[in-house]
Amino acid sequence: MSEYLYISADNHLDTHWCPKNLWQDRLPEKFREVGPKVVEGENGSQWTWEGKLWDKSADGSNSAQFLKPFRDQGVNLPDGALPPADPEILLNHMDQSKVWSSIIFPSVRKWNVSDPELLFAVYRAFNDYAMEINKIDPDRIFLLPALPTKYPEECVRELNRMIEAGAKAVEFPPFDVAQPVYDEVWEPIWARAAEARVPLCIHIGGAADSPLPPYQRGAQIAFLATAPFNLANTWAQLTFCGAFERHPNLKVLFSECRIGWVPFAVQWADRQVKERAPDPSAPLSMLPSQYAARNCGFTFEEDYIGCEMMKQEWCELGDYAIWGSDYPHPQGTWPDVSIPIDKMFEGIDPKIKQRVVWDHAAEMFGINGPN
């Protein structure tokens, strides 16, 4: 058994790793033909729904290309293995990294499903699957059920259904929202999540129907280079609309956004409170920096600038930051996460390091740790 040192607040179960029978086994019969399934074609195994081809699938003839990054690192996996979706393999990989718990983001938020009824069924089926997986080792595996934020009323229903099913956290995708997150239509979500003490997890990205910019004249690289900052406005809207003021127990995780920008954003937000007239429709009793410390976490994998800033007491970055490995993505830090972590945290107070790599996530998600 490993000596567990870390909690990862940012792992992934991308669509291509999902078992091919995930939706076919769980969708109502009327949706199975048009719903997600894996077919074999000229591009190998591939997901299809609503008559269109989408992401390739690792559960089929394309297995080898998805397993190659693991095998290139000397990880022995059988043909057809689905590491992020196989709890036994996943827990083994977490053990190798000395990671006790993983918060796992699905890719449902990226799906472009045109029929609302089918969309709701797709979310429900995946969320049922997530809860099945979470029950296998509930203090270690946190596969996030996701909320269909295009439809606020359904979003509330699904949040309630997941809370009743025992969910410890859910994903709230902010890019497909029917109304901006400052709108009062979301108040039932903030209230219910706070009441149940179920954190809302928000990941960088974009709307499901918005593809990446073209790989032309640097457009796509520019988009990816600035992606860490695309949650700053969501955080500011949640803060200044008074969501954290009205609901002190509301917890929000902003994931894979890195942390080097956070001290500036928080302090600049504090200046707005001091220099501008208050908004009478959303009175605040605290500074944004105080809400950030009490209600929020911001995750990073490797952010040497952020960790250097963490050494400065005035930044208070140790109050906000939470580490995540980004497993199984190649830009992540698996399998030996200790190499970048030790390098990043050199010269940082061990108490701050402990909070960033363990304590903050444990508090937010109610993680007990090894007995």
2 pLDDT tier (thresholds 50, 70, 90): low
Residue 209 has pLDDT above 80, yes or no: no
pLDDT in tens, 145-195: 999 999 999 999 999 999 999 999 999 999 989 999 999 999 999 999 999
- Mean pLDDT value of segment 218-238: 94
Q: Which helix (H) or strand (E) holds 170?
A: strand 170-171
* pLDDT for 111: 86
* pLDDT for 63: 98
Burial class (CB within 10 angstroms; exposed 0-12, middle 13-18, buried 19+) of 184: exposed
Residue 332 has pLDDT above 80, yes or no: no
- Mean pLDDT value of segment 208-234: 90
- Mean pLDDT value of segment 349-365: 98
- Separation of alpha carbons 327 and 102, rounded Å: 9
- Mean pLDDT value of segment 267-271: 97
pLDDT in tens, 337-353: 999 999 999 999 999 99
* pLDDT for 371: 82
* pLDDT for 1: 47
Beta bridge partners of 170: 200
CA 300 to chain centre: 11
Q: Are 179 and 185 in contact (CB under 8 A)?
A: yes
pLDDT in tens, 122-146: 999 999 999 999 999 999 999 999 9
When the pLDDT of each residue in the chain is averaged and rounded to a whole number, the result is: 95
Q: What is the CATH number of domain 9-16+82-365?
A: 3.20.20.140
Higher pLDDT, 245 or 215: 245
pLDDT in tens, 6-47: 999 999 999 999 999 999 999 999 999 999 999 999 999 999
Residue 227 has pLDDT above 70, yes or no: yes
* pLDDT for 340: 93
* pLDDT for 32: 97
- Separation of alpha carbons 344 and 67, rounded Å: 29
- Mean pLDDT value of segment 235-260: 98
Residue 52 has pLDDT above 70, yes or no: yes
pLDDT in tens, 89-105: 999 999 999 999 999 99
- Taken in order 22, 28, 30, 35, is the CA torsion positive or negative? negative
- Mean pLDDT value of segment 295-307: 97
On the question of a cis peptide bond just before residue 328, with omega within 30 degrees of 0, the verdict is: yes
Residue 211 has pLDDT above 50, yes or no: yes
- Mean pLDDT value of segment 330-342: 84
* pLDDT for 336: 87
Percent of the chain's residues with pLDDT above 70:
99
* pLDDT for 74: 87
* In the chain, domain spans: 9-16+82-365
CA dihedral 136, 59, 7, 326 (to 10 degrees): -160
